[in-house]
Amino acid sequence: MTREERKIMGLTISSHSLVHLYEGVLPPLIPLLIGEFSTDYFRLGIVVTIFSYAFGLGALPAGFLADRVGPRRLVSIYLFGSGLLSVCIWPIGSLWTYGVLMGLIGLFCSTYHPASNTLISHAIRERGRAFGIHGIAGSLGVAAIPVLSAWIGSAMGWRAPHVIFGLWGVGVGFYSLTVPQQSVTTHSVPLANEPEVDPSKVSYLNLVVFFLSASTLGLTYKGIMTFLPAYMGQNVHLSFLKIDTVALGGTIATLALLSGAVGQYVAGRLVDRCKPEGIYLGAIAVGAVFVFFMAQCSDVLLVMSAVLYAFFYFSTQPVQNYILSRYLPKHRHGLGYGIHFFLTFGVGSIAAAVSGYLADRFGLESIFYAMGLCFTASSCLALVLLIRAHTHPPYLPGSPYDTVSGLGN
């Protein structure tokens, strides 16, 4: 990588980890928040849904703007806005105010994914590898937040994690200003032998199938991640660890989710070499098996199932980003990523409230049965996408992924 590419990757790596700290800070604190606000799983699920819906909704205009005003500016807006609002959580005292602030934080965070993925797709030559590294950073944020939020919250109160991560975001925001906007928007050198999308051959049906699969998978992410720490604290029993269930659930969830970073790396390396639709289908289908295992297991078997679920689920993310970059012309990448993240995070956000209702009514394990069914539906759609990729490839004839010519297999 060039010096400029390394600087861009440094910004996107740190920002990606942070956005998932903001996204995941609430779930490990659920036991504390139930006591603080005298509430239940359903109402806290609604707060998560508010954040997540804003997180997804803002991705639509963010994708549009990334193609016009430049992705680096949007990354800076996200960092300063979400950081300052997180610090503002310190003095609040009502669940309603907390929900409003979380929604606003989600709105600022929504600019990140369309902007960063557009930035990578335009400015980094080894795109698959870059998406993989970028994904690893996000997975590490997802994995670290349960233990960080749980331990900080247990030791310093539920407000402290928000404030600490907010100050971190403002600091990264100042670093983002050192990345020149002009160099980001003009640096877009295609790879040798890179398959370019023929605008006249864009298959809108392929895109619809892809977006349906991605949004169904987004339901599973929000449903599982919202209640995974509480589920782990309830069903993993380690008597030799003298810690409360909040810290225990966060710690075990983090250990399980660390495998997601490995999945991101493996998929990022494979996607430059193998047919991405095939990798996508395999990861979803195998991941579904371990989600169902999680609904039925406890203790060591539950932890092992969660590790394997995280590996296969998070491996889909760099593959999704790569597929979308190949299904749309370069000047439509920002819009495509905006739609993608609106569907996965916005539409997927309803799973938090629905999962909270299921947990109150039928127990936490019912969430994993429901999310396993969503995984299964997503894998069926991914199979349709794989079949259509053979018959309706979006690449110019003779490109490395021209499956009609027999290449790229």
pLDDT tens per residue across span 148-178: 998 899 889 899 999 999 999 999 999 988 8
Q: Is residue 193 part of a domain?
A: no
Q: What is the span of the domain harbouring residue 241?
A: 3-180+198-405
pLDDT at 405 over 60: no
CA angle 139, 303, 249 (to 5 degrees): 75
Confidence of residue 192 (pLDDT cuts 50, 70, 90): very low
Higher local confidence (pLDDT), 357 or 403: 357
Q: Whose structure tokens read 């500016």?
A: 73
216 or 244, greater pLDDT: 216
Q: What is the pLDDT of residues 10-57, one digit of tens each?
A: 888 899 999 989 988 998 888 889 888 888 888 888 888 888 888 878
Q: What distance in Å separates the CA atoms of residue 297 and residue 377, rounded to the nearest whole number?
A: 23
Q: Is 189 part of any domain?
A: no
Q: Give 203-234 pLDDT, tens digit per residue.
A: 778 888 999 999 899 888 888 888 888 888 88
The Cα-based distances of 317 to 43, 283, 284, 295 in angstroms read 29, 10, 11, 23
Average pLDDT, the chain: 81
- pLDDT tens for 262-280 read 888 888 778 767 788 899 9
Residue 358: in which H helix or E strand, if any?
A: helix 350-362
Question: Is 314 a member of any domain?
Answer: yes
Q: How confident is the model at residue 380 (pLDDT cuts 50, 70, 90)?
A: very high
Do the domain assignments include residue 318?
yes
Structure tokens at 239: 């008597």
- pLDDT score for 312: 94
Q: What is the pLDDT of residues 74-129, one digit of tens each?
A: 899 999 999 999 999 999 888 999 999 999 999 999 888 888 878 887 777 766 67
Number of domains in the chain: 1
The SS3 call for residue 18 is helix
What CATH number should be reported for the domain holding residue 69?
1.20.1250.20
Residue 105 lies in a domain: yes
Q: What pLDDT score was predicted for residue 395?
A: 52
Report the length, in residues, of the chain. Answer: 409
Nearest to 32 by CA among 46, 44, 18: 44
Q: What is the pLDDT of residue 397?
A: 40
Check: pTM over 0.75? Answer yes or no.
no
pLDDT of residue 85: 96
Say if 9 falls within a structural domain: yes
**What pLDDT does 59 receive?**
78
Q: Smallest Cα–Cα separation from 55: which of 108, 95, 114, 120?
A: 108
**How many other CB atoms are there within 10 angstroms of residue 240's CB atom?**
4
Domain assignment present for residue 372? The answer is yes
Tokens of 55: 């997180």
Domain assignment of residue 186, yes or no: no
The whole-number average pLDDT for the span 287-301 is 91
In the DSSP assignment, the letter for residue 196 is P
